[in-house]
Structure formats: C-alpha cells, structure tokens
Structure 1
C-alpha cells in the first residue's frame, strides 16, 4: 500500500488575480481541489511547507491527505505552476481520489544495480534510460510511489521493454493494452561504437533552392 502524506490547507474566500498576488506576498500558495461528486474548492497552502515537499519525489506520485480543519480529502497533484525564474510555486491543482475507482497517473522509475551489471561494468557499453517514469493504472490503495527495475543482469545488446517491468499486485500499464507497437523501450545497452556511428550518420542531403528546376516546382 502506498504511503500517504498529510498537508494542512485553509479555505480561500477571495478570488481573482489580485487576491492571488496578496496570498503570494503573504507566503501562501493559491490552489484548487476538484473532482468526484463535490464541487471544486479554492484553498491556500503555506509556501514553505509545499516547497519542502516539492523537493521529494513522493509529492508528485503519491496520494496526499489534504487536511482542512480536520476534514481530510485524498488527492493527487495534477498541476503545478512555478515562477519562471524565482524559487516560487504560483498555483497548484489537486484532484480528489475515490478509493473504489481505478486511477491513472505517472510514477517514477528507479534503476537498480546498473553499475553491477555486465553492461554497466564495461567502458565500451553505453546504457541509456529511454523513460524515467511510466503511466500506470490501479486502485488508490495499490498506488506505488515508484517502480524498481533491477538491471543487475543487463548485458550489451539488451533492451528492457515496458512489458519486462515487474509491477506490484493490482498495477497495470495501460499503454500495453494498445498493442505490441506500444511496448516501448525503457533501457537500452549499446556498444559505444554503435552509439557513435548512429550519432555520426549523415543527415539526408537537402537540395539547395537554386537547384530546384521549373519541373520540380510544378
């Protein structure tokens, strides 16, 4: 079962850009909670607490307990707006979670034992992580904070696909239901020479505009 984390919030009564600016000057973050059978609710949260939480991976992939004066609602973070250059969170969107309904969300991938693998030990092999997260579907009680991939046996030429991931009970990858062409590569171990040749491959030659004939323009 996934770990939940409590975040204290307050109800927000003032709306509009001016009210949001005043909140931010007071070190608060305007936010909204929506979804389920309840109406959307505008809330405000202490910026420092959220800023600290945002430094952790779990904040983006775990079920959060929003506590409003003792009333707790289970939610997932769905959107975060950051200031373009300041270390400031501008707005947050949370979606309510129904414990009896499957949810779909992205969770991070943790790559284990790569340095101990035959590919990882070889200076001539380049290991690339094609994906760093994966979209999964499960009931809230089965939501993992991350999915581990053991690469201890990874050798040159190996490709780890989505279908190779060992998922916790009750967890599935919706992408795999769409067909074999959606079984994406997650990790690839290539010989360094192959990687270099691929990078150095010449692009298709472009025909200069001056070489286009009248026949070509028809």
Structure 2
C-alpha cells in the first residue's frame, strides 16, 4: 500500500461558464466529487498541485483523500480533461469510495527481467508489451500500486496472459468476473521475432533454392536481350 495522498480542495458554491473561466484564470481547476450515494459536490483544486500530482503514475491508481475545507473524503480519480494545445488541466472527476465495497480500477503493469529475457538474449527476439495496464477489482484496503510481471523466462514465440499475473490476496482481474476465464484470458506480453531473427530462421536449403531461382531469372533476362 502506498502512502496517503491528500489533495486540498475548496467548495465551489456557484457554477457556470463565466465562473469556471475565472477559476482557471485564478490558477484553480474546476472538479466534481461524486458517488457513494451522496450528492455531487463541485470543488476547485489548485492547478499546479494537481498538475504535478498527475505526473506521478500511481496518482491514477490509488485512493486519494480529498480535503474539502477540512472535510476529508476518500476517492479515486476517474477522469481528467486537458487543454488540446497547452499544458493545462481543464477539469477533473473524482469518485468517492465506500471502504466496504469493491472498486474497479486500472493498474499499470511493471515488467521486469527484460535484460535477462531468454527470448531476447538467446533467441534474438524482441519483447512486445501488448498491455500497459489491467483493470482489477478489490476492496480499497487491498489495492496495490501496480502489477508486476517477470518476463525473464520467455522464449521466442511465447507469451504471458492475464492468468499468469500473480495478484495479491483479495485482488481479481475484472475481466475474469464477466464469465469464462479462458474467453477473457488475453495475452499481456510476448517475445516476437525481429526481421533479422526471422531471416536467420530460413533453412539453408530454402535460401539455396531462392538463389537458384534468382540466377535462372537473370539467365532468362540475358537470353531475351540477345534475341533482341
């Protein structure tokens, strides 16, 4: 479990386009705190504080404490709207959590063992990350910061699937709660052949045949030239 992250906020008593513009001009980001059977709460968060918090990967996948004028509520970040051309945050949505109810949240995948990967070091392949995050379901108290996958033993042509992920107790892959596990057991990472390694796997006999065909084509072209 990560350290508690506290985000200071203040209540926005009034809403509207002109007020939102004024907020942004003053260096704040309009946001909404919703869920857990309570009314939506319009809040404002300091832009720079939120901006730098968003630079941390774990901010997207951990429980945050929203301190609104002294009242603390636990929530997770659900959505962020950014300016299309400027490094500005325009809006944020935070969802309250119930400590006794499961949450669904996407966690980043951290791959390790890539330098020792047999499929790269011995087979000459290339590691391909097919997923960078995976959605899990768990109680807030069981939420890990990220998911880890060891790729050191992967050989060329092999892959690891969702079912290969080692999860902490109390954490489930959300996709597996929707039905047949095999139906949703997607590949997460694989070792694939590079162009160089793919060429090196062509049998010598086949290479010889291709060269013979090429020589025959050359001879045919030469004969055609003499007739002309």
Write out per-residue CA displacement over residues 163-217 of structure 1, whole angstroms, 9 at most, x where no aligned residue. Answer: 00000110001212422121000001122249979xxxxxxxxxxxxxxxxxxxx
Q: 1:87 to 1:123 in 2, by over 3 A?
A: farther
CA–CA separation in structure 2 for the residues paired with 1:93 and 1:99: 19
Q: Deviation at 1:38?
A: 1.6
Q: Deviation at 1:3?
A: 3.5
Residue in structure 1 matched with residue 105 of structure 2 by the alignment:
105
Gaps of 5+ in 2: 200-228
Question: Secondary structure at the residue paired with 1:23?
Answer: helix
Residue in structure 2 matched with residue 23 of structure 1 by the alignment:
23
Contact residue 12 and residue 43 of structure 1 kept, 8 A: yes
Q: Deviation at 1:48?
A: 0.5
Question: Secondary structure at the residue paired with 1:104?
Answer: strand
Kindly indicate which of the two structures has a greater share of residues assigned to helix. Answer: 2
Contact residue 7 and residue 64 of structure 1 kept, 8 A: yes
Counterpart mapping for 1:179-218 below 5 A = 179=180, 180-193=182-195
Contact residue 5 and residue 64 of structure 2 kept, 8 A: yes
CA–CA separation in structure 1 for the residues paired with 2:106 and 2:3: 16
RMSD value, Cα: 1.7
Count, aligned residues: 197
Q: 1:35 to 1:181 in 2, by over 3 A?
A: same
CA–CA separation in structure 2 for the residues paired with 1:93 and 1:196: 47
Contact residue 2 and residue 143 of structure 1 kept, 8 A: no
Residue in structure 2 matched with residue 86 of structure 1 by the alignment:
86
CA–CA separation in structure 1 for the residues paired with 2:163 and 2:154: 16
Highest CA radius of gyration, 1 or 2?
A: 2
Q: Deviation at 1:5?
A: 0.6
Counterpart mapping for 1:130-141 below 5 A = 130-141=130-141
Contact residue 62 and residue 145 of structure 1 kept, 8 A: yes
Counterpart mapping for 1:8-157 below 5 A = 8-122=8-122, 124-157=124-157
Question: Secondary structure at the residue paired with 1:114?
Answer: coil
Which consecutive segments of 4 or more residues in structure 1 shift more than 6 A? 194-197
Q: Deviation at 1:59?
A: 1.2
Q: 1:88 to 1:123 in 2, by over 3 A?
A: farther
